[in-house]
């Protein structure tokens, strides 16, 4: 960690005692990201990057599925991997390992520390997260794995996708399992769990979101969102910005064909606080994202 960062963190911890209590030493914030598919974590790309590169923090990821889905768009990567990946049988056998490698390559850019694979089937074309949790995934197994990962490390925050209704059922199911896992922890010693959504997609549904029907734990406070703008300048004369990081990560996902269409030169990563955290989580989240925005590069 750079000396300036250390000074900044010391000042920060002195002025925010509730967060400081969770910091037993001089480490930065520790985050567990819970997602459904390899490439979902790009939604948090630059917030993760800032935490690992500028705050001296650690980010781990727990991936819910084996990543074998979406093979029909793997056309351009077939020559790279030497496999007929758009064939469903080939995809089922080879894509899980390919997607794990792509995730770890993208994760290396964001500075992700540990990769936890829960390997549930990447199947089920439905908007209904409850049918995924009942019929497609082994819900008890996935829940036990999350409990185990959360118990292994002293996480300060958990990042999930905001579970808006029209979003992919796997994303919503992963979020529900993560919130349930955090809710099973001792309230005095558990991380703040957040829902996130980038700008530029499903804006009306995001703006209207207060919680997913049938899942009261997903209710969010109206406060926020707490944000990091990928266009924040850096480098010589401020001519670079953090969109580069997100686009580098997207480029690692050669087998996720349509993902390559999402390279952008703007975007804001936004976070909301689930009510099940309690109101003090709002201040902690505000403090984290203030630090993400302002800490020296």
Contact flags string 174-213 toward Zn ion, x per CB under 5 A = ----------------------------------------
Q: Which of 119, 123, 158 is nearest to 141 (CA)?
A: 119
Q: Which stretch binds Zn ion (CB under 5 A): 31-39, 94-102, 143-151, 274-282?
A: 31-39
Q: How far apart are CA 51 and CA 27, in angstroms?
A: 11
Beta strand extents in 8-94 (DSSP E only): 30-35, 58-65
Q: How far apart are CA 153 and CA 59, in angstroms?
A: 11
Task: Find the shortest distance in angstroms from Cβ 181 to Zn ion.
Answer: 19
Task: Find the shortest distance in angstroms from Cβ 95 to Zn ion.
Answer: 14
- Quote the tokens at residue 230: 């990928």
Name 82's Cβ contacts closer than 8 Å, sequence gap at least 6.
none
- Quote the tokens at residue 80: 């790279």
Q: How far apart are CA 55 and CA 2, in angstroms?
A: 9
Task: Find the shortest distance in angstroms from Cβ 174 to Zn ion.
Answer: 9
Of 185 and 202, which has the nearer Cβ to Zn ion?
202
Of 198 and 295, which has the nearer Cβ to Zn ion?
198
Total residues in contact with Zn ion, by rule CB under 5 A: 2
Quick one: which of 40, 41, 180, 275 contacts Zn ion (CB under 5 A)?
Answer: 40
Q: Which stretch binds Zn ion (CB under 5 A): 36-44, 137-145, 189-197, 228-236?
A: 36-44
Q: Which stretch binds Zn ion (CB under 5 A): 29-37, 96-104, 252-260, 283-291?
A: 29-37
Residue 207 near residue 222 (C-beta atoms within 8 A): no
Q: How far apart are CA 46 and CA 59, in angstroms?
A: 12
Task: Find the shortest distance in angstroms from Cβ 286 to Zn ion.
Answer: 28
Of 37 and 284, which has the nearer Cβ to Zn ion?
37
Q: How far apart are CA 55 and CA 296, in angstroms?
A: 9
Of 117 and 297, which has the nearer Cβ to Zn ion?
117
**Element of type H or E holding 191:** none
Quick one: which of 37, 83, 254, 270 contacts Zn ion (CB under 5 A)?
Answer: 37
Q: How far apart are CA 245 and CA 242, in angstroms?
A: 5
Rg (CA), the chain: 19
Of 126 and 183, which has the nearer Cβ to Zn ion?
126
Task: Find the shortest distance in angstroms from Cβ 61 to Zn ion.
Answer: 13
Of 37 and 99, which has the nearer Cβ to Zn ion?
37
Strand partners, 63: 35, 117
Task: Find the shortest distance in angstroms from Cβ 249 to Zn ion.
Answer: 14
Of 122 and 156, which has the nearer Cβ to Zn ion?
122
Q: By the criterion CB under 5 A, which residues form the site for Zn ion?
A: 37, 40
């Amino acid at each position: 960690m750079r000396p300036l960062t250390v000074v900044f963190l010391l000042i920060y911890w002195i002025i925010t005692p509730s967060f400081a209590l969770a910091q037993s030493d001089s480490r930065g914030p520790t985050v567990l990201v819970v997602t459904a598919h390899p490439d979902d974590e790009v939604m948090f790309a630059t917030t993760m990057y800032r935490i690992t590169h500028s705050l001296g923090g650690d980010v781990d990821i727990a991936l819910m599925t084996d990543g074998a889905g979406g093979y029909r768009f793997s056309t351009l990567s077939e020559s790279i991997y030497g496999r007929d990946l758009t064939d469903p049988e080939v995809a089922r056998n080879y894509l899980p390992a390919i997607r794990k490698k792509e995730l770890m390559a993208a994760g290396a850019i964001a500075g992700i520390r540990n990769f936890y694979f829960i390997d549930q089937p990447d199947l089920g074309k439905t908007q209904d997260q409850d049918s995924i949790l009942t019929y497609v995934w082994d819900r008890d197994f996935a829940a036990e794995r999350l409990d185990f990962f959360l118990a292994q490390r002293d996480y300060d925050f958990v990042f999930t996708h905001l579970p808006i209704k029209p979003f992919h059922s796997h994303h919503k199911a992963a979020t529900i399992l993560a919130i349930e896992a955090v809710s099973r922890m001792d309230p005095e010693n558990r991380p703040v769990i957040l829902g996130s959504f980038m700008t530029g997609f499903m804006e009306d549904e995001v703006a209207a979101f207060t919680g997913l029907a049938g899942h009261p734990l997903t209710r969010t406070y109206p406060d926020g969102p707490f944000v990091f703008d990928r266009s924040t300048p850096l480098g010589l004369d401020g001519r670079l910005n953090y969109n580069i990081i997100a686009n580098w990560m997207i480029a690692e996902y050669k087998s996720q064909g349509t993902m390559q269409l999402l390279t952008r030169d703007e975007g804001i990563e936004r976070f909301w606080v689930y009510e099940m955290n309690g109101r003090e989580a709002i201040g902690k989240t505000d403090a984290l994202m203030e630090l993400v925005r302002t800490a020296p590069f």
